[in-house]
Amino acid sequence: MTLLPVVPRRHLLSETYIVALTFRIRTTDATRRRLDRGRALRLLILPMSRADIIGGRNMSDDFVLDVQKIRQQARAKMAEGPVTDTYGKDKNRVIEILNDVIATEVVCWLRYTRHAISAVGVDRAQVAAEFTEHAKEEMNHALRAAQRVSQLGGEPDFDPAKLVQRAHTDYTAPADHDLTQMLRDNLEAERIVIDIYQEIILWLGEGDPTTRRLMESIKEEEEDHADDLLDLLGG
Ligand SMILES: [Fe+2]
Ligand SMILES: [Fe+2]
pLDDT, tens digit (0-9, with 9 covering 90-100), for 76-119:
889 889 999 899 999 999 999 999 999 999 999 999 999 999 99
CA of 97 to the centre of ligand 2 (A): 17
CA angle (11 as vertex; 10, 12 as ends), nearest 5? 105
Ligand 1 ion local residues (Cβ < 5 A): 105, 138, 141
Q: Which ligand is nearest to the CA of 101?
A: 1
pLDDT, tens digit (0-9, with 9 covering 90-100), for 186-207:
999 999 999 999 999 999 999 9
pLDDT of residue 59: 56
Mean pLDDT, all residues of the chain: 83
Cα 52 to Cα 133: distance, rounded to the nearest angstrom = 56
Cα 81 to Cα 62: distance, rounded to the nearest angstrom = 29
CA of 218 to the centre of ligand 2 (A): 8
Phi and psi angles of residue 131, each rounded to the nearest 5 degrees, phi first:
-60, -40
- The larger pLDDT score, comparing residue 52 to residue 114, is at 114
pLDDT, tens digit (0-9, with 9 covering 90-100), for 2-43:
444 444 444 433 333 333 333 344 445 554 555 444 443 443
Rounded to 10°, the helix 179-204/209-232 angle is: 160
Residue 64 binned pLDDT confidence (cut-offs 50, 70, 90): confident
CA of 221 to the centre of ligand 1 (A): 7
Cα 92 to Cα 75: distance, rounded to the nearest angstrom = 22
Question: 91-232 has which fold?
Answer: Ferritin (1.20.1260)
Count Cβ atoms below 10 Å from residue 181 Cβ, excluding itself.
14
Type of residue found at 125: A
C-alpha 134, offset from chain centre: 23
Nearest 10 degrees: Cα torsion 120, 126, 131, 133: 140
Cα 133 to Cα 112: distance, rounded to the nearest angstrom = 9
pLDDT of residue 199: 98
Cα 181 to Cα 183: distance, rounded to the nearest angstrom = 5
Is the pLDDT assigned to residue 146 strictly greater than 50?
yes
pLDDT, tens digit (0-9, with 9 covering 90-100), for 156-189:
999 999 999 999 999 999 999 999 999 999 999 9
pLDDT of residue 65: 87
For the chain, give every domain's residue range.
Answer: 1-60, 91-232
Task: Please name which of 2, 23, 3, 15 lies closest in space to residue 46, comparing C-alpha atoms.
Answer: 15
CA of 62 to the centre of ligand 2 (A): 44
Is the pLDDT assigned to residue 129 strictly greater than 80?
yes
pLDDT of residue 110: 98
CA of 204 to the centre of ligand 2 (A): 21
Count Cβ atoms below 10 Å from residue 211 Cβ, excluding itself.
24
The answer to whether 121 and 63 are in contact (CB under 8 A) is: no
Is the pLDDT assigned to residue 153 strictly greater than 90?
yes
3-state DSSP call for residue 47? strand
